[in-house]
Amino acid sequence: MTNRKKIVSALLALLAVWGLWQWLKPYPPHITLTEQEHHVVDNLLVNATPRCIGRYLIDLPENFNSPIGTVYINKNEIEFQRLYLPAFEQRIRLREDELQKTKTIHAEDGPYLKNIYPLPNGMKGVIFETNFSEIAPDSARKLEAHIYSNGVAFKTEIDARNPDATRYQKERERNPSYYKNNVQVKLNELINLLIRLHGRQENEIPKDKGLCFPNGFISGAPGVANEMEDVTFSYQSKINPRLYLDLSTDNFIQEDTSMLERSSSIVNELLNYQMSTLMKGKREINKLAAEEWLTVGNGEDANSGHTFVLNVNEKTGSSQTPGFTIELKHGPLPDEALSQNELIAFWQKITKTLRVRPGAI
């Protein structure tokens, strides 16, 4: 065998050994920290407690509080605010007065406020039926619901139609399926949601089936009336304000490919943004199949610093297997208070607590 063939054979053997080692080595890799680095990570993680997001739990430190985000059911946002009952009652009175004074552009579409519905079963709140807008014809309606539960004021809206006026006769004849009064149907749908909507404390973890978000809980088995659930919240560390965690979950998005299956396109995108990969791979977390990708950029701000992403059920999102994404952002860099190794160790400890809330599904 010539020297050249020997060299090629040796290189192939080394490549095979390296490939086998890459295949066999554990993921995620163990991060070795100094005593001081352990202290930094432990300080960030102090008093971690379960937080309920969607139908999942994840343990977050106490310094990650005051989340900001949104909750959508069937693409209708649910707004919430912790209030005293007298303040809620005043809000309702002021809102009714505002709607009473609202004028339509065309007199024939008035009045703007069409009906006021009390909530059933002793529930605190009201539903206003109004025109969709000041300029829309009054066949387009909106149901605006306000409800008070356990110290939390909730508001949500749903679109409806009432084309019963005689001037819509021709439209009803041409398109009877669309020009149909569905106010009562939508009212029932809305009340069904309000009955299941409850205020809660952040540290209060429900035991029943249902969907959680900060300050609120919507009871019910997954897939009730084919409801689309979409919850997204952001947390910022009070100890290190450069550190952010975004948590999101939904029960209807199904990607054709997973994050790791899109590696080539993601790598190209990272190059465009001058970002590089620190590590990526598959993880099993509390019986959840997950994929993660950890990157770092030039660090001019939080968006171009460290970005870590973990996805669950990306291709199989459903009412029984809701998708969940955790995204960490850290910047600007360098951060003298938090090294890259410390950040990765913090990430691994946080993400390994993700699990389906017992009884949620």
Share of the chain above pLDDT 70, in %: 93
The total number of residues shown for the chain amounts to 361
Beta strand extents in the chain (DSSP E only): 49-53, 56-60, 64-73, 76-82, 113-118, 124-131, 140-149, 152-161, 197-199, 210-213, 216-219, 229-237, 243-250, 276-285, 288-296, 306-312, 323-330, 355-356
Q: Is the pLDDT of residue 195 over 90?
A: yes
Closest CA to 211 of 48, 324, 87: 324
pLDDT band at 3; cut points 50, 70, 90: low
Instruction: State the DSSP H helix or E strand holding residue 348, giving kind and residue range, or none if neither.
Output: helix 340-351
pLDDT of residue 18: 45
Please say if the pLDDT value at position 19 is more than 60: no
What pLDDT is attached to residue 7?
A: 64
Structural domains present in the chain: 35-68+207-356 (3.40.1000.10), 77-195 (no CATH)
Q: What mean pLDDT is predicted for residues 207-217?
A: 96
pLDDT of residue 2: 66
Tell me, what's the pLDDT at 224?
84
Interval 123-152: pLDDT, tens: 999 999 999 999 999 999 999 999 999 999
Mean pLDDT of 242-255: 98
Residue 302 CA to residue 307 CA, distance in Å, equals: 8
The predicted model gives 100-115 an average pLDDT of 97
89-105 confidence digits (pLDDT tens):
999 999 999 999 999 99
**pTM for this model (two decimals):** 0.90
Q: Binning pLDDT at 50, 70 and 90, where does residue 297 land?
A: very high
Task: Work out the mean pLDDT of the chain and round it to a whole number.
Answer: 94
